[in-house]
Structure 1
């Protein structure tokens, strides 16, 4: 992508996602992700927007003014974005590709983190770790992250979620909140790696998928191509049996994914490319409060 075109795209996404994180998420992100299993550090006077569940009633009674407990990580969380850059993200049947929605979601979370004075880092992955951007603060860092989200070109096109989870577990020593953003088109189970990662970190899974991936249209013979392997084949979509088999495959795959998240005790949300991802993220945040 040309530099001028890339910068325009970065600016567009910055304006949209910074506004969303500032005006819509405000305190929701903060209350959903701070202080989970964190060490108590000190108390300070209550400020507007603080979670009333953090009020220290003994200190409040002593000073006759509300005081809240401050947790060590509340002052500086580390947020990691694990972004799937495999071939299947380059798909979209409506007006937008999965890749674009993943980029906007990641940018919105990044701005939410920065406004909360958190560090933000990124790991791009396919069937290997493609790129690691260490956690930092500041607008300059965020803009670099957004530029990479838009323009990064992976070496491989297949997916192995276990690899990125193992990398996260080993690379980030201090407990962090990690958003795993993917379509979860993954051939092998990643349950064991997710269990281990979630013991050390606070894992959150965000699935982005396209409506066309859930069922086949009845349009006769159709040539389909696996975006990750490049394999092509013809299928007869006029056959109700073929369409039903595909629909059942999709539902079974979703069920297996949801079961994995539940067993690993990982909060998750599934977002279609045509959905309002803001509502979906808000519901995710509220679920965690």
Structure 2
């Protein structure tokens, strides 16, 4: 996409995702992700029914009238988006490719975060860290993130989730809400995920295309591995070939589910031709 096309697409995503944030996810994000605790806000006159344990005895003694302490939730959080920009993210066969879907989901999450006065940062990764955008607040920052999501060109093609999580674990000491968005076509990342989940509130967003899972029976075709460039002729008319292809996908997916379950993290699964809004709604409501 050229600059004009990118800006047009950014505007389209902004309009759609801000609408979703305002009308569908309003309050659900807030309920799903609690603040770090309660902080003192003010004192006010004691009213019938107030918890006597909240009485401020020093102020009460000074004015010879009962006052209570009022606390409020510390809302400011840091949201980190760990975004897979490897070559396989450019794959999509029906409605959109995985990269476009990931960009839209990131926009929804980012606008939801700033609506709640939270900071948002991004790490783009392939088989290593590609780019780091420090957490900030504000609409202009979110629009910058969306532009980068649409236009960023990675230096490498592969995927290494373990290396990415290790970098994040070493670079980010402050506890954050972390959304890891990927097709999870990577090797073993269990240990790194375990460490990250202990330090942060980890949520995986598994994005896949129907053709990642199933091959159509269209005869002999030449297939290319997006991340290695390897070419191979595949006879899709052979039922055993199609079954093997599906089995490989199911093994990756099962490993992903097990890894997040064992680490205590959560996982949302979205297909490129399905409505991600419903999946996010269910996730937010289950956490509330």
Q: Normalization by structure 1: what TM-score?
A: 0.89
CA distance in 1, matches of 2:272, 2:161: 21
Cα offset, 1:41, TM superposition: 2.1
Alignment RMSD: 2.3
Partner residue in 1 for 2:183: 183
Contact 2:183 2:208 in 1 (8 A): yes
Inter-CA distance 174–228: structure 2 relative to 1 (3 Å threshold): same
Partner residue in 1 for 2:80: 80
Cα offset, 1:70, TM superposition: 3.0
Contact 1:44 1:70 in 2 (8 A): no
CA distance in 1, matches of 2:221, 2:287: 43
Partner residue in 1 for 2:197: 198
Tell me the secondary structure at the aligned position of residue 185 of structure 1.
coil
Matched, 1:70 2:63: no
CA distance in 1, matches of 2:126, 2:72: 38
Gaps of 5+ in 2: 44-48, 57-68
CA distance in 2, matches of 1:286, 1:59: 33
Deviations 1:198-236 (A, max 9, x none): 111111000110011111111111211110000010111
Q: Aligned residues, how many?
A: 273
Tell me the secondary structure at the aligned position of residue 26 of structure 1.
coil
Partner residue in 1 for 2:258: 259
Q: How does 1:119-268 map to 2 (within 5 A)?
A: 119-186=119-186, 188-268=187-267
Cα offset, 1:86, TM superposition: 0.0
Contact 1:17 1:107 in 2 (8 A): yes
| Bigger Rg, which one | 2
Inter-CA distance 39–279: structure 2 relative to 1 (3 Å threshold): same
CA distance in 1, matches of 2:271, 2:244: 21
Deviations 1:82-126 (A, max 9, x none): 000000011111021111000000011000001000000000000
CA distance in 2, matches of 1:99, 1:286: 26
Q: How does 1:11-50 map to 2 (within 5 A)?
A: 11-35=11-35, 38-42=36-40
Cα offset, 1:57, TM superposition: 6.8
Deviations 1:34-92 (A, max 9, x none): 23xx34323679xxxxxxxxxx97269979xxx985344x2x10000000000001111
Contact 2:184 2:252 in 1 (8 A): no
Tell me the secondary structure at the aligned position of residue 130 of structure 2.
strand
CA distance in 1, matches of 2:52, 2:249: 54
Partner residue in 1 for 2:107: 107
Partner residue in 2 for 1:51: none
CA distance in 2, matches of 1:70, 1:189: 42
Partner residue in 1 for 2:268: 269
CA distance in 2, matches of 1:24, 1:182: 24
Cα offset, 1:29, TM superposition: 0.5
CA distance in 2, matches of 1:68, 1:274: 48
Q: Normalization by structure 2: what TM-score?
A: 0.89
Gaps of 5+ in 1: 46-55
Matched, 1:58 2:60: no
Tell me the secondary structure at the aligned position of residue 25 of structure 1.
coil
